[in-house]
Structure 1
Amino acid sequence: MENQTNQPSPASIMQIGSGFWASKILLSAVKFELFTHLAKEGSLSAKEIKSLLKLNCTDRHLFDFLDALFSFGFLKRDGLLETAKYSNSLDTELFLDKAKTTYVGGMLEMMNDRLYGFWGNLEDGLKTGLVQNESKNGNEPIFVNLYKDPELLKGFVNAMTGIQIGNFMALAQKFDFSKHKTFLDVGGSAGILSTMVAKHNSNMSCTTFDLPAVEAMAKETIQKFEVSNQVKAVSGDFFADSFPKADVVTMGNILHDWNEENKLMLMQKAYDALPDGGVFIAIESVIDNERKQNSFGLMMSLNMLIETGDGFDYTFDDFNKWATQIGFKSTSLLALTGPTSAAIAYK
């Protein structure tokens, strides 16, 4: 967003400063399931959308809402105002239709329902260093709350699936699994990563490992993708329990939840579960070493302040330092999709 001209301009300042306007427009459309309706109907007029979504705003404000989505590239439009017909763009048709397995809107739903409000407390988080979500003011930590509330947990699991499914598919296809036989995903949630690895690597026997509260969701995923001959769900607590042995151990958006001490503890447990020649893979928004390009990774790290207080995202140099400290022989970085990479450590 740096000004590349020699002339001063407030444009980028205002674009970022008003960014929550654009964010809330998209999040509202996802909340209304607008893109799912359009995927089903093909195209709709503003009047039809107003009736379908039961909106009571003026026609002019509805046009503003829909045309803003069009200007962002999230909708296609044929006609203008009363004569306009709206339909999904290529991206929203694939990724924001709830009826498709490629739906990534779970994360956007959680951003709307939870994080949008909590990020209003960022100043307090930076001043105090304390968590700013449901756990604020001495309430129980977020993960305790999540696993007590089935609806909250389901929303969180859907969010994690949404934000990572593209990366899981990329890892399953980009990483060379041919030298390995067993795979363990620690904190595997709904079992999507294990399922993707199995679908793309017939040689792999996979285990998704998480708390008992999500075991049913993982089993549903395994059944849905018809990979029960390759994937199993095992319940366990990655803090309290040793990890099942495997040739490849992964953690997707797990390490960044915790402080450095707990990061090292989890990586040590992964190391202990691996044979010589085994591989540990952390899938995260790894921040570039110069800390100037991966803005999403930096913002995700601030989100960890909001959500956990002392969790943070990290650079590959950080990961390499921790891996060396634990005893891994070498490391590498594999780009996945967007701002996400796989930080890999070899035993």
Structure 2
Amino acid sequence: MTTSKPVTDGLAPVRSGRPAERPLRDPYDVMFVGWSFFRSKLLTAAMDLGVFSVLGDGSLSTEELCDRAGLHPRGAQDFLDALTAIGLLSRAEGRYRNSPGVAGHLLPDSEEFVGGFLRMTTELMGGDQDSLTGLLRNGTARGQGTGGEVPFTRIFHDPVRLRHFLSAMDSFNGAVAEELAHVFNWSRYATFTDVGGARGNLAERLTAAHPGLTGTVMDRPSMAEHFDRLVAERGAEKRLRFVGGDFFRADLPPADVLILGSVLHDWPMEQRATLLRKAHGAVHDAGALIVYDTMLDDGRQQADSLMLSLIMMLQSAQAGGYSPAQCSSWMTDAGFTVERVVRLPALTTAVIARKN
């Protein structure tokens, strides 16, 4: 396998997520690692009690919030201040507000609501230690059947869960799209294909930011109705089209730029290589390939991305994380020349390459 040395916009090695955790010394440092699950309990309790919905886009005092959300005064103050301390609420002059992240992603009427998806994936991971231990002993995802089937795939047959999944994907790729629209020189190109682009949220945002662009979204045929709804709501019918199909069996729609976003992590190495070779065939000469994903940092020191890789393994029989250096090497093997590695929002890294 060849080795590439991509430009990293001044970041070498490329890191994603928060800085590496400091070594633990204090006994309570160790205790709070074991108690980390309590943060999720705080978030779940706030959702169950309607704290975020009660606050909406306004602010309330402790007493007002207790009254409207039905909180008992004994634990309410510590509860609200704990939510503030971990960044879910903000507090000023004795009044609480939803943080920007909550306002954008945890209010049920938000287009980019991730709360339902969060509940679903947490449930699929299981609350028992056996699920993680099983992965580490046997290499299997939680609930994996003999044919490799996993509970996660049921979301595509459940309209409620699918809606939660799509709104969460819009949240993640929407944050990516905003930055990707600026860090890549789209003025050199006229067309792009977003492979595995779901209902087209990222594609629509790119064409809205660059009116000269037209895009194709390729995903499973069942996603067509969701794509049609999104482009109709945003008036993007002339800028975007949808192609349904299995991207391992069908040809990838040709374009100047091909995007593989949050796709490669779902597949084992052989199929990753297959997709990248197919991408090379689909990209026009002098065109570009953009691979973005929640990649591991090259130094394998960032806890968030490492844990996310394990979470993906718990929910999929084949998924797993990879680093920008690994991705760059695979793209080079497929015939591309890697030019840049760029850090994006939502714990995401992009590797950008050109076709010679």
* TM-score computed with the length of structure 1 as normaliser: 0.85
Q: Give the match for residue 59 of structure 2.
A: 43
> Higher helix proportion, which one?
1
- Pick from 257, 261, 266 the counterpart of residue 252 of structure 1: 261
The one-letter code matched in structure 2 to 1:76 is S
- Quick one: structure 1 residues 76 and 113, their matched pair in 2 at CA, closer, same or farther if it must change by over 3 Å? same
Offset of 1:232 from its aligned partner?
A: 1.9
Percent identical residues: 30
More off after superposition, 153-162 vs 266-275: 153-162
The one-letter code matched in structure 2 to 1:167 is V
Q: Give the match for residue 14 of structure 2.
A: none
The one-letter code matched in structure 1 to 2:84 is F
Offset of 1:51 from its aligned partner?
A: 6.2
Q: Give the match for residue 222 of structure 1.
A: 231
Offset of 1:331 from its aligned partner?
A: 4.0
Query: Alpha-carbon deviations, 1:12-54, whole Å to 9, x = none?
Result: 32332211101221244345553233125x234556556655x
- Counterpart secondary structure, 2:96: strand
Partner Cα separation in structure 1 for residue 203 and residue 180 of structure 2: 11
- Pick from 15, 19, 32 the counterpart of residue 15 of structure 1: 32
Number of residues of Structure 1 aligned to a counterpart in Structure 2: 335
Partner Cα separation in structure 2 for residue 325 and residue 285 of structure 1: 21
Q: Give the match for residue 93 of structure 1.
A: 103
2:290 equivalent to 1:320: no
- Quick one: structure 1 residues 159 and 62, their matched pair in 2 at CA, closer, same or farther if it must change by over 3 Å? same
Offset of 1:311 from its aligned partner?
A: 1.6
Partner Cα separation in structure 2 for residue 120 and residue 25 of structure 1: 23
* Alignment check: 8 A CA contact 2:195 2:260 kept: yes
- Quick one: structure 1 residues 103 and 150, their matched pair in 2 at CA, closer, same or farther if it must change by over 3 Å? closer
2:268 equivalent to 1:268: no
* Alignment check: 8 A CA contact 2:332 2:338 kept: yes
2:51 equivalent to 1:34: yes
Give the unaligned 5+ runs of structure 1: none
- Pick from 75, 79, 85 the counterpart of residue 61 of structure 1: 75
- Quick one: structure 1 residues 278 and 11, their matched pair in 2 at CA, closer, same or farther if it must change by over 3 Å? farther
Query: Alpha-carbon deviations, 1:72-115, whole Å to 9, x = none?
Result: 23223467xxxx65322344334433444455545534444434
Offset of 1:287 from its aligned partner?
A: 1.6
- Counterpart secondary structure, 1:208: strand
- Quick one: structure 1 residues 161 and 99, their matched pair in 2 at CA, closer, same or farther if it must change by over 3 Å? same
Partner Cα separation in structure 1 for residue 134 and residue 313 of structure 2: 10
After superposition, residues 54-133 of structure 1 pair within 5 angstroms as 58-77=72-91, 85-101=95-111, 103-105=113-115, 107-115=117-125, 117=127, 121-133=131-143
Partner Cα separation in structure 2 for residue 162 and residue 178 of structure 1: 26
Partner Cα separation in structure 2 for residue 142 and residue 185 of structure 1: 26
Does 1 or 2 have the higher relative contact order (CA < 8 Å, sep 6+)? Answer: 2
- Pick from 308, 319, 322 the counterpart of residue 316 of structure 2: 308
Q: Give the match for residue 157 of structure 1.
A: 166
The one-letter code matched in structure 2 to 1:12 is D
- Quick one: structure 1 residues 308 and 191, their matched pair in 2 at CA, closer, same or farther if it must change by over 3 Å? same
Query: Alpha-carbon deviations, 1:219-239, whole Å to 9, x = none?
Result: 222223222221122222222
- Pick from 197, 208, 227 the counterpart of residue 206 of structure 2: 197
Q: Give the match for residue 330 of structure 1.
A: 338
The one-letter code matched in structure 2 to 1:245 is P
The one-letter code matched in structure 2 to 1:126 is L
More off after superposition, 267-276 vs 65-74: 65-74
2:222 equivalent to 1:206: no
- Quick one: structure 1 residues 139 and 279, their matched pair in 2 at CA, closer, same or farther if it must change by over 3 Å? closer
* TM-score computed with the length of structure 2 as normaliser: 0.83
* Alignment check: 8 A CA contact 1:245 1:274 kept: yes
Partner Cα separation in structure 2 for residue 313 and residue 49 of structure 1: 41
| C-alpha RMSD of the superposition | 2.7
- Counterpart secondary structure, 2:192: strand
* Alignment check: 8 A CA contact 1:109 1:159 kept: no
Query: Alpha-carbon deviations, 1:155-177, whole Å to 9, x = none?
Result: 22222222332112211222111
- Counterpart secondary structure, 1:117: coil
* Alignment check: 8 A CA contact 2:124 2:142 kept: no
The one-letter code matched in structure 2 to 1:209 is M
- Quick one: structure 1 residues 112 and 303, their matched pair in 2 at CA, closer, same or farther if it must change by over 3 Å? closer
- Counterpart secondary structure, 1:299: helix
